[in-house]
């Protein structure tokens, strides 16, 4: 009797162990991951167009609708005029100009809500149809909760620029972007687990190398958020030297020393450069090692794709700097960072588990 009850309990919760169920759930998660990727790009657009502070309140439900008449638009514009950014950056802006920056921030928030809907409704469907493995359901619920919390983090970031600053805090910007990447990576990893549940690779050195590239790429991306938050891409627009110096003279101007990485524009740009070079060298080492390691065709292809994307991303970063951060190049560079994270995750997953 005791042998039967666990089986009945498992069926009651849902097994979802068939290949068909795994593929369906993975496809849904990959769609969610793609939407998060778009969300990161939209966040870049709002930042680069100075649109992020155009909506000065947070209304998770009724905020779905933009202003619907002239009076509502004027009220929203008047609220924006009360914050420091208006006088510092957008003084004299017309209502038509305000509608443009408002659109990007509104669409960014709307897209976040859509991600929540696209995640929650299929999750409930798969759960009620008992197509989700019992061990997977808590992970998916946790991902949803993290996504909901990310909305609050986004408002926490915006709020930092409404009273005493003309832009959001670089610390909160980095936290918001970092959390988005964590959510994106977790969704992608779960989807890969479902698509490739029996991966096995006998290359622990390669596995550790891919993990190192992944960590370096993530740290470089977060360092880039500080570059963006401090507008550090608008200074020292030369490469490889920074205004004629290997290390900028102003690197240690702040005390204590650790503040330079987060509050000193020249130091933030220098640190981002160094991290990018180290990431490229690590990806190169992994690429070279892949020719001698015994790898599956998929794993070797993933490592090669990773090196290719890291190289392209390095080129985009240099071009963005030399051109003084034009919008299309800056956006491509930010999107490229997310694609590098994607490639590093796929490569690390393809190289097997630590067990």
pLDDT by residue (tens digit) across 39-57? 999 999 999 999 999 999 9
Q: Round to whole Å and give the CA distance between 243 and 220.
A: 22
In a domain, 2, yes or no: no
Alpha-carbon span 180 to 214, nearest angstrom: 16
At residue 53, what are phi and psi to the nearest 5 degrees? -105, 10
- Residue 193 belongs to what domain range? 19-197
User: Is residue 13 in some structural domain?
Assistant: no
Q: pLDDT grade, residue 163 (50/70/90)?
A: confident
- Domain-embedded: residue 26: yes
User: What is the per-residue DSSP string for 184-211?
Assistant: HHHHHHHHHHHH-TT-----HHHHHHHH
Mean pLDDT of 347-354: 84
pLDDT at residue 17, as a whole number: 62
Percentage of the residues of the chain whose pLDDT score is greater than 90: 81
Q: What is the mean pLDDT of residues 89-116?
A: 94
The three-class DSSP label of residue 136 is coil
Using the 3D structure, point to which of 150, 171, 197 is the last residue of a domain.
197
Q: Do residues 159 and 126 both lie within one domain? A: yes
Q: How far apart are CA 177 and CA 143, in angstroms?
A: 16
Q: Is the pLDDT of residue 62 over 90?
A: no
Q: What is the pLDDT of residue 202?
A: 62
Is 141 contained in some domain? yes
Tokens matching residue 291: 């020719």
Domain co-membership, 73 together with 129: yes
Statement to judge: residues 144 and 239 lie in one domain: no
Task: Spell out the residues 6+ positions from residue 50 whose beta carbon is closer than 8 angstroms to its own.
Answer: 85, 89, 90, 101, 167
Last residue of a domain, one of 128, 162, 197: 197
CA atoms of 134 and 129, how far apart (whole Å): 12
CA–CA gap between residue 225 and residue 282 (Å, rounded): 21
Over the stretch 202-242, which tens digit does the pLDDT of each residue have? 678 899 999 999 999 999 999 999 999 999 999 999 999 99
Do 206 and 193 fall into the same domain? no
In this structure, are 174 and 34 located in the same domain? yes
- Predicted pLDDT of residue 230: 94
Listed residues 179, 197, 215: the one ending a domain: 197
pLDDT at 28 over 90: yes
- Co-location of 166 and 230 in the same domain: no
Which positions ≥6 away from 168 have C-beta within 8 Å? 52, 53, 157, 158, 160, 161, 229
- Say if residue 13's pLDDT is above 50: no
Read off the pLDDT of each residue in 94-102 and give the average, rounded to a whole number: 95
Q: What does the pLDDT read at residue 11?
A: 41
If you compute the radius of gyration of the chain from its CA atoms, what whole number of angstroms results? 23
Average pLDDT, the chain: 91
pLDDT at residue 18, rounded to an integer: 81
65-74 burial: b if 16+ Cβ within 10 Å, else e: eeeeeeeebe
> pTM score > 0.85 for this model?
yes
At 319, the pLDDT band (50, 70, 90 cuts) reads very high
Same domain (yes/no): 27, 91: yes
Q: CA 116 to CA 124: how far, in whole Å?
A: 12
8 occurs within a structural domain: no
111 and 215 share one domain? no
Residue 10 lies in a domain: no
pLDDT band at 126 (very low <50, low <70, confident <90, very high): very high
Same domain (yes/no): 96, 27 = yes
At residue 93, the pLDDT reads: 92
Distance (Å, whole) CA 187 – CA 313: 23
Same domain, 174 and 203: no
- Residue 102 domain flag: yes
Q: Could you tell me if residue 9 is inside a domain?
A: no
Q: What is the per-residue pLDDT for 53?
A: 93
The alpha carbon dihedral of 188, 193, 196, 200 has a sign of: positive
Same domain as 120, residue 50: yes
Report pLDDT for 6.
41
Pairwise CA distance, residues 349 & 355, whole Å: 13
State whether 255 and 212 are in the same domain: yes
Residue 315: its pLDDT value, please? 97
Burial class (CB in 10 A: 0-12, 13-18, 19+), 245: middle
| Lowest model confidence (mean pLDDT) among 13-17, 283-287, 310-314 | 13-17
Residue 173, pLDDT above cutoff 50:
yes
Query: Which residues have CB under 8 Å from 275's CB, separation 6+?
Result: 216, 219, 220, 223
Q: State residue 267's pLDDT score.
A: 96
The count of structural domains within the chain is: 2
Cα–Cα distance measured from residue 189 to residue 209, given in angstroms and rounded to the nearest whole number: 18
> From CA 347, how far away is CA 207, in angstroms rounded?
8
**What pLDDT is stored for residue 134 in this prediction?**
87
Residue of higher predicted confidence among 65 and 201: 65
pLDDT of residue 253: 92
Tell me, what's the pLDDT at 201?
65
Q: Is-contact 220 279, C-beta < 8 A? A: yes
């Amino acid at each position: 009797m005791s042998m039967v009850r666990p089986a009945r309990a498992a069926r009651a919760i849902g097994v979802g162990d068939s290949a068909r169920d795994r593929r369906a759930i993975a496809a849904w998660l990959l769609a969610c991951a793609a939407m998060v990727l778009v969300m990161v790009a939209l966040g870049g657009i709002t930042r680069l167009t100075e649109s992020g502070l155009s909506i000065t309140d947070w209304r998770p439900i009724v905020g779905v609708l933009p202003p619907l008449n002239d009076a509502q638009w004027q009220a929203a514009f008047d609220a924006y005029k009360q914050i420091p950014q208006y006088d510092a950056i957008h003084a004299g802006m017309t209502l038509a100009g305000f509608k443009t920056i408002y659109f990007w921030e509104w669409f960014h928030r709307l897209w976040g809500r859509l991600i929540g809907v696209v995640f929650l409704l299929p999750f409930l469907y798969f759960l009620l149809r008992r197509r989700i493995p019992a061990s997977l359901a808590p992970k998916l619920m946790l991902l949803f909760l993290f996504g909901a919390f990310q909305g609050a983090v986004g408002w926490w970031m915006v709020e930092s620029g409404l009273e005493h600053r003309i832009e959001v805090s670089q610390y909160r910007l980095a936290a918001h972007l970092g959390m988005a990447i964590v959510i994106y990576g977790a969704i992608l990893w779960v989807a890969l687990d479902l698509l490739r549940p029996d991966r096995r690779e006998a290359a622990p050195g390669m596995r550790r190398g891919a993990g190192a590239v992944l960590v370096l790429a993530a740290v470089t991306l977060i360092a880039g958020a500080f570059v963006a938050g401090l507008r550090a891409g608008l200074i020292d627009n030369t490469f490889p030297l920074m205004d004629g110096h290997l290390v900028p003279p102003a690197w240690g101007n702040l005390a204590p020393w650790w503040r330079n990485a987060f509050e000193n524009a020249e130091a933030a740009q220098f640190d981002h450069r160094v991290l990018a070079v180290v990431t490229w060298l690590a990806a190169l080492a992994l690429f070279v090692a892949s020719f001698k390691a015994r790898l599956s065709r998929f794993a070797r292809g993933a490592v090669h794709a990773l090196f290719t994307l890291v190289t392209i991303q390095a080129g985009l970063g240099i071009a963005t700097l030399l051109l003084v951060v034009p919008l299309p190049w800056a956006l491509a560079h930010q999107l490229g960072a997310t694609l590098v994270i994607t490639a590093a995750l796929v490569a690390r997953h393809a190289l097997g588990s630590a067990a």
